[in-house]
Amino acid sequence: MIPEGSPLDGCSLADAGIPKRTGLVVLVLQCRHKDGEQIYNPGPETMLSAGDVMIVLGREDQVHTLRDYVAGR
Specify the CATH number for the domain of residue 51.
3.30.70.1450
Structural domain that includes position 62:
13-70
Q: If pLDDT is split at 50, 70 and 90, which confidence band does 19 have?
A: very high
Predicted pLDDT at 51? 94
pLDDT at 57: 97
In a domain, 2, yes or no: no
Reported for 55-61, long-range contacts at CB under 8 A and 24+ positions apart, including other chains, are 55/26, 55/27, 55/28, 55/29, 55/30, 56/18, 56/24, 56/25, 56/26, 56/27, 57/24, 57/25, 57/27, 58/22, 58/23, 58/24, 58/25, 59/23
- Report if residue 29 sits inside a domain: yes
pLDDT digits (tens, 9 = 90+) for 34-60: 787 999 999 999 999 999 999 999 999
Question: Which pLDDT score, from 0 to 100, does residue 32 have?
Answer: 85
Q: Is residue 6 part of a domain?
A: no
pTM: 0.87
Task: Tell me if 64 is assigned to some domain.
Answer: yes
Number of domains the chain contains: 1
